[in-house]
Amino acid sequence: MLILDTDLLSMIQRGAGEAYIRLNARLETASELHVVGVTVISLEEQLRGWLAHIAKSRPLQRQIDAYLRLHTMVDDYAARYLVDFDEEATRRYQGLVRARVRIGTMDLKIAAIALAQRATLLSRNLSDFRQVPGLTVEDWSAP
């Protein structure tokens, strides 16, 4: 299994740029052999971001676009394999906290899910994720 981190998922959702082209080409090939998933943590991160954006949008007319983009994001997640933060991921997360792995809470939860699934995490944030013992992390957007 391959799991997309939020940063690469956002890149795919935007669908532009050289890094996107590299990532998309590799994913097209890999998806024939692997399940490609996203985590419920990424959904939470993006949902929180859009809800905050909508709440701050003034005048009301600007919320129209924001709600449409939120709807597009929900549709995107509905078409993807969504990986839960389950009991095994929770156990892994607690172990990483006890080991004092110093990365952000959401990234630590994503790493725990990848560990629990025995998945390769795809992310541009190699410096943080490489601090997680036993995690396989790769950046498929890099040249």
Q: What's the predicted TM-score (pTM) here?
A: 0.94
Q: Is residue 30 part of a domain?
A: yes
Instruction: Give the pLDDT of residue 87.
Output: 98
Q: Is residue 108 part of a domain?
A: yes
Q: Which amino acid is at 127?
A: S
Q: Is residue 124 part of a domain?
A: yes
Mean pLDDT of 93-105: 97
Q: Is residue 28 part of a domain?
A: yes
Question: For the chain, how many structural domains are there in total?
Answer: 1
Q: Tell me the per-residue pLDDT of 13-61, one tens digit each, with 9 for 90 and over.
A: 999 899 999 999 999 999 889 999 999 999 999 999 999 999 998 888 8
Q: 59: cis peptide before it, omega within 30°?
A: yes
Q: Is residue 71 part of a domain?
A: no
Domain that holds residue 122: 2-39+82-138
Mean pLDDT of the chain: 96
Q: Is residue 64 part of a domain?
A: no
Instruction: Give the pLDDT of residue 42.
Output: 98
Instruction: Give the pLDDT of residue 95.
Output: 98
- Which CATH number do you get for residue 17? 3.40.50.1010
Instruction: Give the pLDDT of residue 80.
Output: 97
Q: What percent of the chain has pLDDT over 90?
A: 94
* Long-range own/partner contacts, residues 116-119 (CB < 8 A, 24 or more apart): 116/86, 116/88, 116/89, 116/91, 116/92, 117/1, 117/3, 117/37, 117/83, 117/89, 118/1, 119/1, 119/2, 119/3, 119/37, 119/83
Strand pairing report for 136-138 and 36-39: unpaired
Q: Is residue 48 part of a domain?
A: no
Confidence of residue 83 (pLDDT cuts 50, 70, 90): very high
Mean pLDDT of 67-91: 97
Dump strand ranges (E) for the chain: 2-4, 36-39, 81-83, 120-122, 136-138
Instruction: Report whether 69 contacts 47 (CB < 8 A).
Output: no
Confidence of residue 94 (pLDDT cuts 50, 70, 90): very high
